[in-house]
């Protein structure tokens, strides 16, 4: 028996950003986005376009950085609380960090303390807000526009939390691939590899189902086909559209499974070594693929439909892809001492995401030693 559910209304295609005004339908809104220092120079214009369509926001929150943490999110919630009118909906215009921050704002309803208490103690779920969210992703990789959780960092304590709940699914996702035009190569590669990790991790996952796996297979094949070409031709609108669709499909896949071991391994690298999320969660994919091969017939068949029947050749293909994009598949090249790597793997396997992994520890350790 299996189930699949995703309540987000998705509108995809060039120009769907222009539907934002009609989607808001006159409701008072908070706009969450980047300032141009964090967004690469385009978000002032996107903010102007939003206001032209929807009127002035009741609150404007644009202090969002790459990994929203307790300190910055407390300030975001204070900006939200300054709204002169009650906020009826939140518009998240940006990458995964913006959409995740919007979910925190929806939960906080002006008070970050209630979110922090819930994250740290697990208590107070009934006090969390549920303001609706319209998500407008400007990168192709996060999938946050179709998931019900947000990653929240406590950088001082070196901890990562996940804010999760049905109310944090955006009501609508406007996925306009033209908004990804102009992204620099580093962001394009990192977010694209994040999408690949979402796809593969939803396949080698204890929660995999036929719908999530079918979506993941399409997503993985598209990322493998398009990302190297797009990295060499950043202005190609067709490749941008294909990668945006792949990211969306990967998001729809892992919205039902969550991620697994590669993401579990990534958190230490991001917190302690500053490795960008998409790189941190993808460099280990060849290792993890070798460790899962032969553990589950359904998983093997799904991977064969992506990589062909020789799964070792598939792992080699992943390694070549990473290296061609400038990403080393070796942990030691990302700041991890060789003596610490096995301990980090064990710690990751024991965490929530690690327990989603269908592979066996002994197979992983053998692959690690090979």
In a domain, 1, yes or no: no
Convert the pLDDT of each residue in 212-265 to its tens digit. Answer: 999 999 999 999 999 999 999 999 999 999 999 999 999 999 999 999 999 999
294 shares its domain with 267:
yes
Convert the pLDDT of each residue in 308-333 to its tens digit. Answer: 999 999 999 999 999 999 999 999 99
84 shares its domain with 169:
yes
215 shares its domain with 167:
no
For the segment 110-118, the average pLDDT, to the nearest whole number, is 97
Q: Which backbone phi and psi does 359 adopt, to 5 degrees?
A: -75, 170
Global pTM reads: 0.96
Of 178, 202, 227, which residue sits at a domain end?
178
Q: What is the 3-state secondary structure (H, E, C) of 280-316?
A: HCCCCHHHHHHHHCCCCHHHHHHHHHHHCCCHHHHHH
Q: What's 180's DSSP letter?
A: G
pLDDT bracket for residue 35 (50, 70, 90): confident
* Alpha carbons 140 and 248: distance in angstroms, whole number: 8
50 shares its domain with 126:
yes
pLDDT bracket for residue 38 (50, 70, 90): low
19 shares its domain with 153:
yes
Residue span of the structural domain in which 18 resides: 9-178
């Amino acid at each position: 028996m299996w189930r699949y559910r995703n309540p987000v209304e998705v509108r995809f295609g060039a120009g769907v950003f222009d539907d934002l005004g009609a989607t808001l339908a006159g409701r008072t809104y908070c706009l969450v986005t980047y300032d141009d220092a964090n967004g690469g120079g385009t978000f002032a214009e996107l903010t102007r376009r939003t206001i032209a369509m929807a009127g002035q926001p009741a609150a404007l929150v644009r202090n969002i950085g790459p990994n929203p943490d307790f300190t910055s999110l407390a300030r975001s919630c204070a900006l939200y609380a300054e709204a002169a009118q009650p906020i009826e909906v939140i518009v998240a215009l940006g990458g995964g960090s913006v959409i995740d921050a919007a979910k925190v704002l929806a939960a906080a309803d002006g008070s970050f303390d209630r979110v922090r208490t819930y994250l740290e103690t697990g208590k107070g779920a009934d006090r969390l807000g549920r303001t609706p969210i319209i998500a407008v992703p400007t990168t192709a990789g996060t999938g946050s526009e179709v998931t019900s959780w947000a990653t929240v960092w406590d950088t001082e304590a070196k901890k990562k939390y996940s804010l999760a709940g049905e109310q944090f699914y955006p009501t609508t996702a406007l996925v306009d691939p033209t908004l990804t035009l102009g992204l620099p190569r580093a962001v394009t590669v990192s977010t694209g590899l994040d999408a690949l990790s979402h796809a593969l991790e939803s396949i080698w996952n204890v929660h995999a189902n036929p719908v999530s796996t079918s979506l993941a297979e399409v997503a993985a094949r598209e990322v493998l086909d398009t990302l190297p070409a797009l990295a060499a031709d950043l202005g190609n609108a067709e490749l941008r559209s294909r990668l945006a669709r792949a990211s969306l499909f990967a998001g729809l896949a892992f919205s039902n499974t969550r991620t697994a071991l590669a993401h579990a391994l990534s958190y230490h690298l991001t917190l302690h070594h500053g490795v960008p999320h998409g790189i941190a969660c993808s460099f280990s994919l060849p290792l993890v693929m070798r460790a899962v091969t032969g553990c589950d017939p359904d998983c093997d068949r799904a991977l064969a439909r992506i990589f062909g029947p020789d799964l070792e050749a598939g792992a080699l293909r992943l390694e070549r892809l990473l290296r061609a994009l400038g990403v080393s598949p070796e942990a030691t090249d990302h700041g991890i001492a060789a003596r610490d790597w096995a301990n980090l793997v064990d710690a990751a396997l024991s965490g929530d995401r690690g327990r989603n992994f269908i592979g066996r520890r002994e197979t992983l350790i053998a692959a690690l030693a090979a």
